[in-house]
């Protein structure tokens, strides 16, 4: 194991956070149980004093085709897996186009688009060094209870990559803002949309400091320049309070606050 200094104001997708020493874990290392795993930091909001952090190293950055499944290390970036799927004519992974981050991050939050989710394709996940079948993991809309760190995953292997499906799914995300963000701030409550609720309570476009709920899609908390952690937290709490008061709906963060 070794440590690496990461500047989260550059590394994280929302461009907020301090410089921190992060533990890099390689294959064969014992996984510490007192550290938060950062993945690609695409849905993270890192505080000025985060808990101890770790990330997977290069030995978990690989993709290989076995006889009847695809094995992927959890440090693999989504863009790399998509390119691999296209090159090898592998089906059912088109939905990861334009979903930034690492495969480990996708597994940890069961990321996806509409009815397409990574758990639809999972056979088993290596968690803390042991393979666990999908059936033995509790998962649902935008969550997976891994009870440990995902290091590799085995996916269904079917052939027939579709560029048309990829384009169709990218279109669904055409209304996402271009400014730095951590993706959706909140999970959609059952039968409703977080963006609609935030807009309904008058917070679309509302700004504090350099943080704002986007004018394009209210469920995106965007950094308009030198956004600060405190301002982001203020807006997150404001949205939760207003939506609860108005609709009696408890918004749950999709963004991970560290």
User: Annotated catalytic residue: which of 35, 80, 142, 207?
Assistant: 142
Catalytic (active site) residue 13: no
Catalytic (active site) residue 142: yes
208 vs 206: CA distance, rounded Å: 7
Question: What single-letter DSSP state applies at residue 219?
Answer: T
Catalytic (active site) residue 208: no
CB 37, CB 56: distance < 8 Å: yes
Count CB neighbours of 28 within 10 A.
Answer: 8
145 vs 141: CA distance, rounded Å: 12
Residue 243 token pair? 């939506």
Q: What are residue 127's DSSP bridge partners?
A: 130, 150
User: Annotated catalytic residue: which of 12, 184, 214, 242?
Assistant: 184
Q: Which residue has the tokens 């292997």?
A: 157
Q: Which residue has the tokens 């209304």?
A: 175
CA distances from 66 to 52, 158, 211 (A): 36, 12, 46
Helix (H, G, I), strand (E, B) or coil at 53: strand
- Radius of gyration over alpha carbons of the chain, in Å? 18
- Residues annotated as catalytic (active site), given as ranges: 142, 184, 254
């Amino acid at each position: 194991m070794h440590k690496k200094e990461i500047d989260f104001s550059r590394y994280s997708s929302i461009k907020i956070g301090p410089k921190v020493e992060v533990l890099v874990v390689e294959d064969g290392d014992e996984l510490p149980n007192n550290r938060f795993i950062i993945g690609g930091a695409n849905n993270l909001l890192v505080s000025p004093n985060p808990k101890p952090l770790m990330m997977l190293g290069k030995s978990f950055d690989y993709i290989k085709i076995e006889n009847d499944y695809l094995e992927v290390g959890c440090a693999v970036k989504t863009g790399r897996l998509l390119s691999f799927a296209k090159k090898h004519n592998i089906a059912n992974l088109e939905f990861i186009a334009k979903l930034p981050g690492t495969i480990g991050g996708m597994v940890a939050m069961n990321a996806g688009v509409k009815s397409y989710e990574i758990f639809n394709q999972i056979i088993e996940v290596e968690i803390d060094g042991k393979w666990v079948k999908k059936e033995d993991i509790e998962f649902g809309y935008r969550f997976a209870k891994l009870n440990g760190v995902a290091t590799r995953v085995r996916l269904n292997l079917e052939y027939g990559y579709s560029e048309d499906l990829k384009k169709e799914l990218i279109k669904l995300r055409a209304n996402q803002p271009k400014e730095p963000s951590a993706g959706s701030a909140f999970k959609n409550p059952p039968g409703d949309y977080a963006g609609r609720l935030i807009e309904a309570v008058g917070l679309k476009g509302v700004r504090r400091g350099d943080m704002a709920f986007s004018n394009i899609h209210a469920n995106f908390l965007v950094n308009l320049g030198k956004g600060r952690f405190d301002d982001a937290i203020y807006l997150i709490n404001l949205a939760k309070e207003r939506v609860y008061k108005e609709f009696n709906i408890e918004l749950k963060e999709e963004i991970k606050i560290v």
